[in-house]
Structure 1
Amino acid sequence: MPSAPVLTSRALNRALLARQHLLARASMPAEAMVKHLVGMQAQVPTNPYVALWSRLEGFEARELESLILERRAVRTSLLRTTLHLATAGDALAMRPVLQGVLQRGFASGSPFHKQLVGVDLDALMAAGKALLDDEALTTAQLGKRLAQRWQDRDPVSLAYAVRYLVPMVQVPPRGLWQTSGQPIWRSLESWLGRPVEGDDAPDRLVLRYLAAFGPASVKDIATWSWLTRVREIIDRLRSSLRIYRDERDGELFDVEDGALPDPETAAPVRFLPEYDNIALSHSDRGRIIDPRTVGRITGYVGTFLVDGLIAGQWRLDRTKERHLLLVDPFVPLSDDQAADLTDEGERLLAWAGGDVAGVERRLEFGIARDPNRSAYR
């Protein structure tokens, strides 16, 4: 049997960029892109807007706002127990596959489980879902209502248990571009008017991951999804997969039609929001993060790609009088790279600022790190 082809780190980088539509912006509806990406990290409500702007030709924020307002896309807890923007269909279909992930996250990764020892969690889930079927509630309101029945328990822990265990959605205006609001929740089924359905078999989800993020290893799949027993999933799928090796002889898996561009394909500068899944979906992030930046990337700040790798951070500060884009490279840039970064940053400034007149827009190279601020303010 011939040995599996070896893919270099650069080849894996260009494959990832192509599948993420970061080598060239795609001409497709935003809804189709959200589906292709198998959801988009959205714990910061505006993150998907910047992520889509960098991936779609001519993207306008109102397109995603319409999807959310029309209930064709929702923000709900999915991968890694975090809030993701997903199409309505994916939110309903993925939840059974990931329910075990959320249950484990509640039991072992949250501080709330130990406060609820002895509570009938099935009864708590049913009570929480019934409340959220009837009306939209904040976390505090939900906890207060639940504490009327479980009077000896911490209301916050009761509410967060429901947030982990019951399919819920953050309703607008939270998640809109120019207008927001406090997090208010409804049950996913009541919001969409359809049941959560489908089996819990993860095979299809893994194939979709490989199409958008592959080629990838067993550890990569687990890092992206937090699924367990991934090796068993791959063993079931192996006959339908392409198999490669990385430069350290690790086994990689891919869908049959996964794009593998020439490793020397030019990669344009791209701006990404905080927590973009491209940087969170592999055990070995060397395919997307410049090794010189390791340990310097902080949360709450966006990143940018130079030659296909995360090479620094950015932050957009907005006031009524001025929009200032701070760009903070962590690696030396050539004159051409600095010019490309400036050009793309100015396009981001123009897009993010909309049609507001009388506002100064400026890009500066400087310190963008601020642990108390998101990238877009």
Structure 2
Amino acid sequence: MVEHVMGLQAQDNLPPYLSLAARVDGFSPADLSDLIEDRTLVRLFSMRGTVHVLTAADALTLRGWVQPALDRVSGTNQTSRPANHLTTEQLDAVVGPFLADGPQPHPEIGKALAAAYPDVAEEALRHVSRERLPLLQVPPRGLWKRSGGVVYQYVDRYLGQPFVEADVQDLVVRYLSAYGPATAADMTKWSLVTRLGPVFTAMAKDGRLVTVQDDKGRTLYDVQDAPVADEALELPALLLGMYDNIFLSHADRDRIAPDDARKAWMGVNGGVGSVLFLDGILAGLWKVDDGRVVVEPFTKPTRAQQAGIEAEIARVEALLAS
């Protein structure tokens, strides 16, 4: 599943567990923790300038593909800005040897960089290091109920494998297989990688993609023989994490989130709570209060929807108690 959705946003520890529990029957939190511990899955800064859980193979491919986007993030980040004049080579000249004997805590990496570049704020050096260098968070960070501090190692060193150059057309097919039909702008929203429009157009011309028109007259792209959802099918209630892929993988979220619902979720800085979906639409927020799941729908649910919400509450509370 992590491979299919091309990673799960994971700057907080809980959301990837919630995402998988909602998608995989019989999921146990130990399943994800075990895969992180045995290096099948890893945690690193990648799409959208945030930490994701990725397969090892995707970590070696996607990090390099999104690096130009991360460089842009670094250039606009107020915290990183005092260190932006340093090149990737200058950062690597310090961090590479520092990590030669094994992973190191992020604060120690900052201190090593500050010793080399004393005129730059240590906080800026810490931030720019994770944006510009392929640093992976080693366990126990991200493990279920036993997460530790942020300790880094280079991705390729940790996995013992070289980086692989991305085949962008293959990535487009994978993205659409998970999130299509969609536009190039949607894939850019998901990844922050720009200039994908010509790739989509060329793939459609070559027959690798099909096109459809949405109700706004826009051209959407999808893979050949993609399944078509039954519009009459009512989707079950879902309690998902604050930053679930279902909500973060398209530029146009109107199909799943009315404007007032998006504003309620966004608050002042974005992401004020975990999300409730009813029939595929953002319909409320939820939180955990003393071990109990408290749901706050935006509007009064129907009797059938309320039954679905209660079933979801029981499912998530059982997950949190495990």
TM bin, normalised by shorter chain, reads: over 0.9
1:327-351 per-residue CA deviation (whole Å, 9 max, x = no partner) reads 1000221111112111221121122
Equivalence for 1:222: 188
Residues of 1 paired with 2:131 and 2:264: CA distance? 31
Paired residue secondary structure (1:195): coil
How many percent of aligned residue pairs carry the same amino acid?
33
Which of 122, 128, 131 is 1:164 aligned to? 131
CA RMSD of aligned residues (A): 1.6
Whether the 8 Å contact between 2:242 and 2:272 is mirrored in structure 1 is yes
Whether the 8 Å contact between 1:97 and 1:201 is mirrored in structure 2 is no
1:262 aligns with 2:262: no
Q: Structure 1 residues 121 and 95, CA, compared in 2 at 3 Å: closer, same or farther?
A: closer
Whether the 8 Å contact between 2:88 and 2:133 is mirrored in structure 1 is no
Paired residue secondary structure (1:296): helix
1:199 aligns with 2:165: yes
Equivalence for 1:93: 61
Paired residue secondary structure (1:352): helix
Whether the 8 Å contact between 1:133 and 1:187 is mirrored in structure 2 is no
Whether the 8 Å contact between 1:314 and 1:328 is mirrored in structure 2 is yes
1:22-61 alignment, distance < 5 Å: 33-61=1-29
Paired residue secondary structure (2:42): strand
> Once the 2 structures are TM-superposed, how far is the Cα of residue 300 of structure 1 from its aligned partner?
4.6
> Once the 2 structures are TM-superposed, how far is the Cα of residue 116 of structure 1 from its aligned partner?
2.7
> Once the 2 structures are TM-superposed, how far is the Cα of residue 247 of structure 1 from its aligned partner?
0.6
Equivalence for 2:46: 78
1:90-112 per-residue CA deviation (whole Å, 9 max, x = no partner) reads 101112211111112112x2124
Whether the 8 Å contact between 2:94 and 2:112 is mirrored in structure 1 is no
Aligned residue-pair number? 316
1:301 aligns with 2:273: yes
State the TM-score, normalizing by the size of structure 1: 0.80
> Once the 2 structures are TM-superposed, how far is the Cα of residue 119 of structure 1 from its aligned partner?
3.1
Which of 203, 206, 227 is 1:237 aligned to? 203
Equivalence for 1:116: 83
> Once the 2 structures are TM-superposed, how far is the Cα of residue 148 of structure 1 from its aligned partner?
1.5
State the TM-score, normalizing by the size of structure 2: 0.93
> Once the 2 structures are TM-superposed, how far is the Cα of residue 34 of structure 1 from its aligned partner?
0.2
Whether the 8 Å contact between 1:292 and 1:330 is mirrored in structure 2 is no
Paired residue secondary structure (1:134): coil
> Once the 2 structures are TM-superposed, how far is the Cα of residue 291 of structure 1 from its aligned partner?
4.4
Residues of 2 paired with 1:120 and 1:167: CA distance? 14
> Once the 2 structures are TM-superposed, how far is the Cα of residue 78 of structure 1 from its aligned partner?
1.2
Which of 288, 292, 316 is 1:316 aligned to? 288
Residues of 2 paired with 1:294 and 1:106: CA distance? 26
Residues of 2 paired with 1:87 and 1:330: CA distance? 36
Residues of 2 paired with 1:344 and 1:34: CA distance? 22
Equivalence for 1:367: none
1:273-316 per-residue CA deviation (whole Å, 9 max, x = no partner) reads 01111111111101221444231114152111111111001112
Residues of 1 paired with 2:72 and 2:210: CA distance? 31
Equivalence for 1:26: none
